[in-house]
Structure 1
Amino acid sequence: MITGYILFGCILLPALTALAWIDVRTFRLPNLLTLPLIFIGFLFAYYNSSFSLIASILGAIIGYAGFVSLEYVFRRIYNKDGLGRGDAKLLAAGGAWCGGLGLPYIILIASLCGLVFTQMPSQKKKARTGNFNIPFGPFLSLGIAVIWLGQSYITLH
């Protein structure tokens, strides 16, 4: 059982690291990495006896639909983009790997880390100049990694 977790972890964690790095550099989360991560999360759920494939599918659907809805509402209110569709796909991947019950914790970790980041002096200076876009992918990646590792630890012990 532990071998499966190690194998899947060797896929998930480097992919999240790559996505975080790419988002920091380009403000993009490529489908080439996010979409396969969703389907590999379904495989993880299928082969993991303590994790339901239904929970994985629902987590992906809820994660994607939730962020797309948030993106739409933000655009309607502020007439500009607040979240990218890549963030929604990455959260769908988080739902696939951690289930729907992991989503609130992923978002909480990502949001708190993003909030701390925005309070750094270099970021406050950017906010004053009006150029204040931050990539959310690194924070989502961190949240997914922390929740998946925590769930894996609890399952294996």
Structure 2
Amino acid sequence: MPVDSEAVQFLGFYAALCVLCCALALIDFRRGIIPNGLNLAIAVLGVAQAIASGNPTDGVEALGEAAAVAVIFWLLRRLYFVLRQAEGLGLGDVKFLAAAATWVGVTGIPTLLLTATLTALAAAGGLQLAGRQIKRQTSMPFGPFLALGLLLTPAFQRWLGLN
């Protein structure tokens, strides 16, 4: 039985991504921050994966998409703050989304965000059902849900053809 070397290579990069995302989720859950070092590691791994599966120009393209995502979400973060006078999305989340774009591209960001948002809503609903008071001002770290979205989106893109 022939071994698909491209799939094995992807799984190697994906396993490293899983470790980074689990660490990120745990740290954000415990401390409420997403460390810059983990965001950088995810971005570097994403660029390396793009280069390994294609060519060096794919790495440059991944960095360009990451920069575009960073600018868009930083502007959305600022706009929300100006309108509501409250922080809605942390700067670590913005950096994470930029790093995630090296893995899923601009076209994968909506799938990542949908996955993250739905799982966060499910978690909030579960907490509400368990008796915890969830109000408008209740803060929840979004990093663990973004990490889950990042882990699921490349799998959706690769094996289900979602893009």
* Coarse TM-score class (shorter-chain normalised): 0.7 to 0.9
Which of residues 44, 48, 57 in structure 1 aligns to 2:63?
57
Q: State whether residues 124 and 134 of structure 2, in contact with CA within 8 Å, keep that contact through their aligned partners in structure 1.
A: no
Per the normalisation by structure 1, the TM-score is 0.86
Greater radius of gyration (CA): 2
Would the aligned equivalents of 1:110 and 1:142 in 2 still touch at CA under 8 Å? yes
Report deviation, 1:89: 1.1
Correspondent of 1:107 among 113, 116, 126: 113
Name the SS for the 1:80 alignment partner: coil
Tell me which amino acid in the other structure corresponds to 1:46: I
What is the match of residue 94 of structure 1?
100
**1:145 matched to which residue of 2?**
151
Q: Which residue of structure 2 lines up, in the alignment, with residue 77 of structure 1?
A: 83
Q: Distance in 2 between matches of 1:74 and 1:36?
A: 28
Mapped partners of 1:116, 1:143: distance in 2: 14
| TM-score normalised by structure 2 residue count | 0.83
Q: Is the 8 A contact 1:29 1:137 kept in 2?
A: yes
Alignment-derived partner of residue 11 in structure 1: 16
Gaps of 5+ in 1: none
Cα pair 1:117 1:123 within 8 Å, conserved: no
Segments of 4+ in structure 1 off by > 6 A?
none
Partner of 1:22: 27
**CA-atom RMSD, angstroms?**
2.3
Q: Percent identity?
A: 29
Aligned to 1:39: 44
Write the letter of the residue equivalent to 2:41.
P
